[in-house]
A and B are shown apart, each in its own frame.
Chain A
């Protein structure tokens, strides 16, 4: 498939529509030549092509620079379908609905905690439920859980997990309207009942970081960021609840394909018209999972505050933990976009892609209206993560979407082989990064060299002007599941 690509500009490649007669639109991949030749699998491009066959797809099947092979839509895939005549596809969102990141800034500087990293890693590890088979400290009845599903981070704030102003700094204010818990299965509720307030395992993490590079001083100042400032990043999603909802609706959509006579080359892309009972039910249930994930990250932020205050013997005011932003990178949303000069209402599917609205967008909270939406791009645990903001080009090129992270370059198996005979924890400690995880296997599988250098991805997204770099953060304390 790679040989079919045509270079449009330095960071933009076209997969022509005539590659396959079933394609309804072309594919567009935002990627540098280096990333394309070194990291993009041919199968991922096949998935870009497959997504271009979805009924009602608008403009193009898009992929961000961190594109890699996924299920249905590739990771890094963005597609928009017409809200009236198009379909919605759970495979265009992924299993971990509203997997996302939250970036916090503190009043502290690197020098304040450099000798307290050990205390901090232990305190966070104790206080934040992590790891495989982990259950939270919360036990919800199904009726309480349904409240979480309907109200998201608002529920968490009302229960005392954080502050009202945190909602202002959360995509969609931490709650999608129209979430209907009655569309969520008993199984999903059972899986979710004991997992609220848990980080999970795999690539999910909580990091203490410091700002090591500023690219836009004006914007950084507005975010209260300066060199050596301590930040915290939380990466997790909707846990078993979201996975079950995705699984349940994958089956529903499989039947819908036959019912609505939709032919697709990959069952994992199964979909239904948005205006069908199946489509509407999925959207309602997907919103529930999204809300659960926002509540989850809100609760984890609150416990992070408690753990750090206790470890440093500091008051919440001294710590001054503020939410910069929280956004999803696996979601489908109803949005207004201009396509060929006309206003259209679209279902924008982002799978391993981040919303990146430009300055002036009405959906942004007042404090970010002039700056553009914060776009948080986590990297691996040994290098760095980035903060960027959305741009007008994102709006016109990618339905207001950006990349979401580094993406793996080594399979888990290869990573473990590469790490044989090494202590990744010790190697990272020598570089000033303390890592604590339940299992050394996780640390090996997640070691820095298992991931692409996120700066390559960020250079491509910034080069394509889809987002603008603000600051770079380096990890110093990491807890992993």
Chain B
């Protein structure tokens, strides 16, 4: 079962992400964003980057995390497939991310930015859920 579900607004798109803990929220959000770019399975974890970020709350940290990944994607054309979270605590994250340079794989969509609009992370009944809206 996929742990992210897309939704559409009139002009843009977003996703609702679920996970059993905060770590899964960050991993599943990243997977959800990259699957929006392309559903191709021809990307391999060839190139590796280290990401270290801090925020003032979980929402800000998620905003920064997705924007960091978007930066690598847009500036260096890297599609990430593997997200290994080394450390996560309020409100810091340290992760190893692995991906592949986009060559001939089909890219279906671009997003301009991750927005703060209605961005939220909530914990209900031992399950975490996040809502993120993208500017297409």
Which A residues lie at the B interface, using CB under 8 A? Answer: 41, 68-72, 75, 94-96, 132-133, 135, 187, 190-191, 193, 200-202, 240, 243-244, 246-247, 250-251, 254, 266-268, 270, 407-414, 439, 441, 481
Contacts and interface: CB of A to CB of B under 8 A. Distances in A.
Given A247-B113, A413-B13, 4 more contacts: A190-B76, A202-B112, A267-B116, A413-B8
5 contacts: A95-B135, A191-B74, A410-B10, A412-B136, A413-B8
A288 to B, nearest CB: 17
Contact of A190 (B13, B75, B119): B75
A411 B117 contact: no
Sorting the interface of chain B by its residue count into under 10, 10 to 19, 20 to 34 or 35 or more gives 20 to 34
B11 interface: yes
A171 B67 CA distance: 31
B108 interface: yes
Contacts of B135: 71, 94-96, 243
Contact of B109 (A190, A201, A250, A268): A201
Contacts of A408: 10-11
Nearest to B102: A133
Contacts of A441: 108-109
B133 A71 contact: yes
A254 B64 CA distance: 12
A68 B108 CA distance: 25
A95 B133 CA distance: 13
User: Nearest 5 A-B pairs (CB), nearest first?
Assistant: A411-B8, A413-B8, A95-B113, A71-B117, A190-B75
B82 interface: no
Nearest to B119: A267
A268 B107 contact: no
Contacts of B67: 247
A353 to B, nearest CB: 15
B111 to A, nearest CB: 9
Nearest to B37: A132
A266 B115 CA distance: 11
Contact of A133 (B9, B71, B110, B136): B110
B15 interface: no
A266 B76 CA distance: 32
B75 A187 contact: yes
A110 to B, nearest CB: 33
Contact of B110 (A94, A201, A413): A201
A481 B112 CA distance: 13
B8 A412 contact: yes
Given A71-B115, A71-B135, A412-B136, A240 B74 contact: yes
A133 B11 contact: no
Interface string B104-128: 0011111011111101000000000
B71 A191 contact: yes
Given A133-B77, A414-B8, A72 B117 contact: yes
Nearest to B135: A95
B77 A243 contact: no
Given A190-B75, A244-B71, A412-B13, A268 B113 contact: no
Contact of A96 (B8, B112, B116): B112
B60 interface: yes
B11 A75 contact: yes
A96 B113 CA distance: 9
Given A132-B108, A133-B107, A69 B9 contact: yes
Contacts of A246: 113
B8 A41 contact: no
Contacts of A94: 135
B53 to A, nearest CB: 11
Interface string B37-50: 10000000000000
A243 B112 contact: yes
Nearest to A133: B107
A132 B114 CA distance: 17
B108 A439 contact: yes
A268 B117 contact: yes
A247 B63 CA distance: 9
Contacts of B10: 41, 68-69, 408-411
Nearest to A255: B56
A243 B108 contact: no
Nearest to A415: B8
Contact of A247 (B108, B114, B133): B114
Contact of B64 (A69, A251, A270, A414): A251
A286 to B, nearest CB: 15
A233 to B, nearest CB: 20
Contacts of B117: 71-72, 266-268
A68 B12 CA distance: 11
A230 B68 CA distance: 44
B71 A187 contact: yes
Given A132-B108, A202-B136, A191 B75 contact: yes
Nearest to B73: A133
Contact of B116 (A41, A71, A190, A481): A71
A460 to B, nearest CB: 18
Contacts of A439: 106, 108
A98 to B, nearest CB: 13
Contacts of A68: 10-11
